[in-house]
């Protein structure tokens, strides 16, 4: 189970994070299209290797569950969901749940719904 685990390259994640600048009201003034364009076209500020988790995830044969917050300003959730859907189409046992009112900290004690969902999901796997 990954809480707010990005499924985008390190460079895409950094571009997004620099764009949001930690502004908790970011999604009140920006659209998904704005964020997507920035992630695609912004110049990289630092020389990080463009590590992409999709490469490793494509090789794994495990069940995986991702939790995302719909108001996350640290990672591009919609892009991550799209990548997970591509992996699922390729036969991977990956699932995700987006909690529209949560931000990045989906594992917070203030977010008991994520833990409830995780426990239910794990029990479901154990019953298979």
Q: Residue 6 in contact with residue 76, Cβ under 8 Å?
A: yes
Six-digit token pair at 68?
């995302």
pTM for the predicted model, two decimal places: 0.93
User: In what helix (H) or strand (E) does residue 2 lie, and over which residues does it extend?
Assistant: strand 2-3
Q: What is the pLDDT of residue 48?
A: 82
Q: How far apart (Å, rounded) are the C-alpha atoms in residues 60 and 45? A: 32
Q: Which residues constitute the domain of residue 99?
A: 2-126
Q: How far apart (Å, rounded) are the C-alpha atoms in residues 77 and 73? A: 9
pLDDT band at 6 (very low <50, low <70, confident <90, very high): very high
Q: What is the pLDDT of residues 29-61, one digit of tens each?
A: 999 999 999 999 998 888 888 899 999 999 999
Cα separations in angstroms, 19 against 62, 78, 121: 33, 15, 34
Q: What is the pLDDT of residue 43?
A: 87
- Provide the domain count of the chain: 1
Residue matched to tokens 């298979």: 128
Q: What is the pLDDT of residue 103?
A: 95
Label each residue of 56-96 as H, E or C: HHCCCCCCEEEEEECCCCCCCHHHHHHHHHHHHHCCCCEEE
Q: What is the pLDDT of residues 62-99, one digit of tens each?
A: 999 999 999 999 999 999 999 999 999 999 999 999 99
pLDDT surpassing 90 at residue 110: no
């Amino acid at each position: 189970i990954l809480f707010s685990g990005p499924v985008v390259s390190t460079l895409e994640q950094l571009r997004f994070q620099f764009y949001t600048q930690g502004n908790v009201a970011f999604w009140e003034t920006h659209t998904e299209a704005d964020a997507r364009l920035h992630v695609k076209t912004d110049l990289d500020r630092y020389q990080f290797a463009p590590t992409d988790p999709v490469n490793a995830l494509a090789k794994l044969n495990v069940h995986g569950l991702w939790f995302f917050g719909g108001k996350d300003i640290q990672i591009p959730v919609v892009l991550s969901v799209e990548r997970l859907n591509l992996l699922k189409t390729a036969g991977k046992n990956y699932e995700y749940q987006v909690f529209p009112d949560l931000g990045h900290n989906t594992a917070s004690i203030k977010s008991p719904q994520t833990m409830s969902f995780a426990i239910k999901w794990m029990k479901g796997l154990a019953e298979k």
